[in-house]
Structure 1
């Protein structure tokens, strides 16, 4: 792992990754988080015991890994303000900002940087994240391993060789927690219409999803086989699945994910200023 990691930004995702790193054995004294407002840093400093700083340039000057964890809308301003420090230090740059491609961020930082783009998702906040990663050609094998270890502190990691595939990652995992929350919402509403108390329907739906996900993760069988194992000929599950198939759930899901990926592409152009 790196000797010192600086997080530019100390929001929820940065805090989750920092907490995961510390839980996995990384020393708090080797981590710095920055924010222009010290009041935002105080809770992170007190809870996690890390260094904090309101000066991005000072924090970058001691880092061999810099994690960009600010909103995409202010990324250019932040990067350009610390360009000279990054050029002197030449740390590994890891961006967890959605919608900004590696070349754009690298350009704002002066160019020639080893840069990893990461697409995490919100379950990272509870240690069950799924992150897609892409490395530019300047990232060494050792730096790639550092990025893997860093993001595995909050979940699983999958690398893609083509940066454009991060749009697919966004559709499959980045935005996907909301798909499941929508399903919980719909199942709760249906359960209430059938006579269950809302809280009961919600607990049953969420626990069932947790159980199904755990089974799928631990099993060597594919989801189609696991689904079939729940179904008995002429039984209740078969009827439910037949209705979902007739309603074109697969097509609806594919269309939703295509819309998600398309919007990710549009956002990248908007945020980078590309026509």
Structure 2
């Protein structure tokens, strides 16, 4: 079976991560093309991965192409108006990694018959350890879902959602989650430094602790709650520290995810008013 032409609109970090994953899966460089205003960015991708570097403007596409929108969300209305005819004539599958933009908004710009997949990978995709949430509209075929699965499995684990309303929550969790974890690492490091530990050692200990614990949890069938109880002796040091965390951690996590999800909904509404 002939590989589809994969067309990137945008040449930023996420495009680079996905292209790297595709090339590692054996997708030929000439079957991937990158459209972006910056000749420097798309030229760097062409040099590193052997993909085709193309100007930002729309062009005729091969039949059944896969077009991945990896540019800024606010640019989508203008960009899709330019690409609409090319996408329609090629019966292209459109994949959006733009946060907060619904499939209904996309099909309003491209046409109701356009197959659309929304994708929300997170930044660990850059090292092949990403978590990507996916939602497909009813016009996306099983074969097209398989193609999208292959693309994003190249940069980590893939999670399909059957309710688009949950994309904002998935984005708030996995899309924004790396920043939460990094803030937690900062806080642990700073707290240890205040207790007298040197910063280099504090950072290394915090990083290895979070990394090792995540790997342990991923390799274990027990829930995080069960694992936590296994390492918490009554009256011990861990119990003393957890007592402080329990005062505010759960409410903070709930408020953080709610705030991030609500921001996604607001961004979607803002796009409606500017489109």
**Is TM (by shorter chain) over 0.5?**
yes
Cα distance in structure 2, aligned partners of 1:248 and 1:64: 49
* Structure 1 unmatched runs, 5+: none
Residue matched to 2:104: 103
Instruction: Tell me, yes or no, if the aligned pair for 1:2 and 1:65 is still in contact at 8 Å.
Output: no
**For 1:2 and 1:207, how far apart are their aligned partners in 2?**
41
Taking the aligned partners of 1:201 and 1:55, their CA distance within structure 2 comes to: 46
1:86-125 matches, within 5 Å, as: 86-125=87-126
| Residues 83-142 of structure 1: CA deviation (Å, up to 9, x unaligned) | 111110011110001111111112212331000001111111121111111100100111
Using the alignment, how far apart are the partners of 1:219 and 1:2 within structure 2? 37
C-alpha distance in 2, partners of 1:263/1:70? 19
1:257 lines up with 2:253 in the alignment: no
- In structure 2, the residue matched to 1:220 is 221
Please state if 1:229 is matched with 2:237. no
Q: What is residue 24 of structure 1 aligned with on the other side?
A: 25
Tell me how far 1:2 sits from its aligned partner. Answer: 4.2
Measured in 2, the distance between the counterparts of 1:274 and 1:85 equals 23
The offset of 1:272, in angstroms, is 2.4
CA distance in 2, matches of 1:150, 1:167: 22
Alignment of 1:161-200 (within 5 A): 161-200=162-201
Deviations 1:26-51 (A, max 9, x none): 21121111112323211110011111
Instruction: Note if 1:149 corresponds to 2:150.
Output: yes
Q: TM-score, normalised by structure 1?
A: 0.95
Residue 57 of structure 1 deviates from its aligned partner by: 2.5
CA distance in 2, matches of 1:40, 1:62: 27
What TM-score comes out, normalization by structure 2 length? 0.95
Question: Is 1:39 the counterpart of 2:40 in the alignment?
Answer: yes
**Do structure 1's residue 8 and structure 2's residue 39 form an aligned pair?**
no
Whether the 8 Å CA contact 2:93–2:115 is kept in 1: the answer is yes
Contact 2:95/2:119 (8 A) holds in 1: yes
* More displaced 10-residue stretch of structure 1: 33-42 or 6-15: 33-42
SS of structure 2 residue aligned to 1:32: strand
- Distance across 1 between alignment mates of 2:273 and 2:113: 21
Give the deviation of 1:63 after TM superposition.
5.7
Corresponding residue for 1:273? 273
In the TM superposition, what is the alpha-carbon distance from 1:69 to its structure 2 partner? 0.8
Q: Deviations over 1:48-67 (max 9, x none)?
A: 11112115422634662110
Which residue does the alignment assign to 1:64? Answer: 65
CA RMSD of the aligned region, Å? Answer: 1.7
Moved more, 52-61 or 86-95: 52-61
1:170-227: CA deviation from partner (whole Å, max 9, x where unpaired): 1211111111111111111101011111121111101111101101111111101111
